[in-house]
A and B are shown apart, each in its own frame.
Chain A
């Protein structure tokens, strides 16, 4: 994760020299490298995307302006989604990709509206339908962003369904469940790619990560007592801490061993003791553990997006937590300083435990 940046060309050359690529695969690698070189920079794609979204909304507005009969919204929604899927399968052109994305989302919104209309506002059924539609579109719509959104829609609908069914006790389990699924997908990544499911892996990982973040953010929601609501948004956050703590230790058990090879004997027990200490400190703050899990997953696989997302979530979560928590500024101040000091102390202990013994270290009895 440092030093000179290796190029993809070097990776292909390395695989090729080790006879891991067939002739056909080498040709495909050449085509891929050429394709990656010709990809427009993000800002050109952003401009094209903006144009496509706005143009799609103009078209949708134009169609909607014609006037639709009862039930027509549902049919129009289905039509838009089907057309968007067909369009996306036909082309990788930036403009058409974004148009298809906007068309599909507008179609799904119309479809949800139509379903709500037809079922007389049955919210539970609507949530179930959103989960089903998102699950189907995850496989059918061949677009990375759309797939991430499908996972997010399904996760949001599932969370809403749990609240609607008044099963709030399950809410603290949701975030850890999404995080657990994320860890599982990461572990099966190479098998999924070899099995031809590679296109699904990254959107699924990103969707699960964002869903877990969203669920844990619910634990920072503070309902004003003055409102008199008999509603607990996130009951017993310690359940999340226990589940995420177990996952934290599991991810650690997969990440640390290769890194501790050159450290002393006390390193492994010391590291796990510190992990348990972190779990204890995070008893009421489960988001801290989720952020650390995501950072560890990212660091272990060279995925800088995950490292960045974990750090960003940590900042957001701690800010939201301390903003919402019902304590005085003095208590918040003491807690923040104590946590910061603990982390700095943990850093010193970790560095001491993990530093490899220097070459030619003095032995007992050597002259000073």
Chain B
């Protein structure tokens, strides 16, 4: 049995009631003991719920109002509105304190509105600048917010903007896409951004950018920086780093051969293997994180399956059965190993 207690939630109390076949009075008593009935401070929750719903509806109404006559507004009015929003959000963050939930949300809104302002500026004056400039300027302009705000959300936005800047600079200045790659733009921005990583050179730069951010984040967290102790940020950045090399590795495994014509090179599988090894070692021995270990193993399974699909090419329905058995073996093995790691951590704790 582990060391931590099981929280008495609605679901676990229900499980308990089923397992013990509690009679009606005992069930009601269990619910009372678990404090699942509304408590005297319920007014506080009602207050927050109604305030949030009311504010959300009014914000949506204001957005709808501007959508109604946005095209007719003079561009100075548009700038004034967005700038007023930025100033109001910053003032609100200052008023609420930047370490409070409301203050953090306000500062994030201000940082986001800066991007909207830059986009409207580009729309009004048609500067002819490459879009990478928008993301770079946006990233640089929110850097003071991120430094002052000390919140993971702003740093994640900053990291995302750096990724977009690099992708845009690569595809618009250094190596503009051609052929089928260009066609992928028709399928929407997300698909297009995904396909840009099918160039091993760009994918490697993106990997380096995100891996560096991850190492910095984990180092700062290990040094005890209080606002970097949450695990969501490094997990997102780590996933981004993995994704940049998983795509080209997977495609290379299934269909293409490494070569100049496809821009897929052996560098991506090499980086993938290095990232996997680092992930399995660091998150097992340096910083216990079962989720990152699971993500790493899952990606390894995907690559092995991609290789199997390419190389197991014998005819007949039997090949699907082989795929199924291979997958079962890998998933079962991964789950077994993860359970062992988890037990080892519990025993050491």
Contacts and interface: CB of A to CB of B under 8 A. Distances in A.
Interface stretch (A36-44, A148-156, A245-253): A36-44
B304 to A, nearest CB: 12
Given A20-B26, A58-B321, A59-B320, A333 B61 contact: yes
Interface stretch (B171-179, B250-258, B325-333): B325-333
A7 B61 contact: no
Interface stretch (B46-54, B240-248, B278-286): B46-54
Interface stretch (A79-87, A120-128, A231-239, A343-351): A343-351
B8 A191 contact: no
A59 B335 CA distance: 21
A265 interface: no
Interface in A1-44: 1-3, 5-12, 14-15, 18, 20-21, 25, 28-29, 31-34, 36-38, 40-41, 43-44
Contacts of B55: 340, 344
B91 interface: no
Nearest to A199: B18
20 contacts: A11-B34, A15-B26, A18-B29, A32-B15, A32-B20, A37-B2, A47-B331, A48-B335, A52-B331, A65-B317, A95-B328, A300-B38, A304-B9, A322-B60, A330-B69, A337-B65, A339-B61, A340-B55, A340-B56, A351-B46
Task: State the main secondary structure of chain A at its contact with B.
Answer: helix
A91 interface: no
A47 B298 contact: yes
Interface stretch (B161-169, B194-202, B289-297): B289-297
B335 A37 contact: no
B43 A341 contact: no
A315 B334 CA distance: 38
B35 interface: yes
Interface residues of A, number: 95
A5 B8 contact: yes
A335 B58 CA distance: 9
Contacts of B58: 336-337, 340-341, 344
B318 interface: yes
Interface of B: 1-2, 4-31, 33-47, 49-51, 53-62, 64-65, 67-69, 290-291, 294-295, 297-298, 301, 316-318, 320-321, 323-325, 327-328, 330-332, 334-335, 338-339, 342
Contact of A336 (B8, B10, B45, B61): B61
Given A10-B33, A44-B294, A48-B331, A193 B27 contact: yes
A355 B43 contact: yes
B313 to A, nearest CB: 15
A62 B317 contact: yes
Interface of A: 1-3, 5-12, 14-15, 18, 20-21, 25, 28-29, 31-34, 36-38, 40-41, 43-44, 47-48, 50-52, 54-56, 58-59, 61-66, 94-95, 189-191, 193-194, 196, 198-199, 201-202, 258-259, 262, 295, 299-305, 311, 314-315, 318, 322, 328-330, 332-341, 343-344, 346-347, 350-351, 354-355
Contacts of B46: 347, 350-351, 354
Contact of B51 (A14, A21, A344): A344
Nearest to A351: B47
Contacts of B339: 40, 44
A7 B38 contact: no
Given A21-B20, A44-B290, A330-B68, 15 more contacts: A1-B42, A2-B41, A2-B45, A7-B8, A11-B8, A56-B324, A95-B328, A190-B22, A302-B34, A305-B11, A330-B64, A334-B61, A336-B64, A337-B65, A354-B43
A178 B4 CA distance: 39
A43 B291 CA distance: 7
Contacts of B325: 55
Contact of B338 (A21, A33, A40): A40
B141 to A, nearest CB: 30
Nearest to B50: A347
Given A51-B301, A302-B10, A340-B54, A15 B33 contact: yes
B288 to A, nearest CB: 12
B342 to A, nearest CB: 8
Nearest to A20: B26
Contacts of A38: 2
A99 B115 CA distance: 46
A350 B332 CA distance: 54
A108 to B, nearest CB: 20
A329 B67 contact: yes
